[in-house]
Structure 1
């Protein structure tokens, strides 16, 4: 895990996220960055991970080399008023007022599970990721999108609710990128191959992988 907070010496708006988060229920891979030009990015847990209460032990898992833009939000299960009740009012949450058993507080909302973000994912400005959503490696979430369903690898989604706009690459390229998993390579190997990565030279990258 990285301990360096700021990737750039003069930039206090961008942080390596796993050097910032403290909650053990939030896991972030190396080199994933968060940028915030409105608030202090060091307050990511408070400002961006919402309704994340201990009662569920739910997790936010974010992979390596992700880019998370200002204002992106991760909205957890306690924001979901249950649809199993005849009322959306959260009676179990106010157990003292209504003389209810306090062990049934979680009946007030539906539990959709963890939020899991893959590697090399770009989450745009103001996007909202809802509880239970899994986002695949290499996906892109457009600005202000509200993601309510899983997003396949290397897929661009946008809108409210977010829908597929297009794939980033054809199926063969996606398959090979998922096989390569370059983000799991040693740092020295990644550095050596950055020119191939940023210039889209997949065949050269595959040759390096096979060496």
Structure 2
């Protein structure tokens, strides 16, 4: 089977040979100073490719202090949104109105809130319409259910859902999760992933070790 090209903006090719333009490789279409995105991670949306960063994380600005870090092979469904720290308003005073952001002389003065990076590990599946709140870390292999609102860290290979999102179950026993994190298949060369694809899809962890 033909394997992915991480520099290809549209990773899905339809039966007629045309690219499906609503699914994009994030790293191929986003150039944002506060985003770090691993290869092969994709996002499906109906905007233009150039709008991808603004659709995915609308409050992450070039002058923001926080970062959004997304690992490799992350799968992001439609209407997912990352609410990053720059979306917050100060609540310590009598008003939450951000007066200082409307003047170029004082806009950086407003950057006084706690700013925390939002981090998504590798091989994470984020379901339709999920909202990821500021400063959350999502472990590799986790699954975020559709419409979940993630307000706290998600352990690796854990399924969460609801508002606020709570743990539904672990995907695998602890020992298997430890093995998967040590194997870190997402860092393998593509030819090795291709050779191991059957075992990746079938859930045969033991067979991956000599792959």
Which bracket does the TM-score occupy, shorter chain normalised? 0.7 to 0.9
1:104 equivalent among 109, 117, 142: 109
CA distance in 2, matches of 1:54, 1:31: 23
Q: CA deviation at 1:42?
A: 4.5
Matched, 1:154 2:157: yes
| 1:119 equivalent in structure 2 | 122
- d(CA) in 1 for partners of 2:26, 2:206: 31
Distance 1:94 1:117 in 2: 32
Q: Which runs of 4+ in 1 moved over 4 A?
A: 100-103
**Structure in which a larger fraction of residues adopt helix:** 1
Task: Give the TM-score taking structure 1 as reference length.
Answer: 0.87
Describe the shift of the 1:95–1:12 C-alpha distance in structure 2 as closer, same or farther (beyond 3 A).
Answer: closer
CA contact (8 A) 1:136 1:151 kept: yes
Equivalent residue in structure 2 for 1:164, among 152, 162, 167 = 167
Give runs of aligned pairs for residues 33-182 of structure 1, distance below 5 A. 33-36=42-45, 38-94=46-102, 103-107=108-112, 110-182=113-185
Counterpart CA distance in 2 for 1:101 and 1:178 is 45
Aligned to 1:7: 11
- Residue ranges of structure 2 left out of the alignment (5+ in a row): 15-19
Question: Greater CA deviation, 43-52 or 83-92?
Answer: 83-92
The root-mean-square deviation of aligned C-alpha atoms, in Å, is: 2.0
Whether contact under 8 Å (1:93, 1:106) holds in the other structure is no
**1:50 is paired with a residue of what secondary structure?**
coil
Bigger Cα displacement from structure 2, 40-49 vs 190-199: 40-49
Q: Distance in 1 between matches of 2:170 and 2:85?
A: 29
How many residues of Structure 1 are paired with residues of Structure 2 in the alignment? 202
The answer to whether the 8 Å contact 1:51/1:79 transfers is: yes
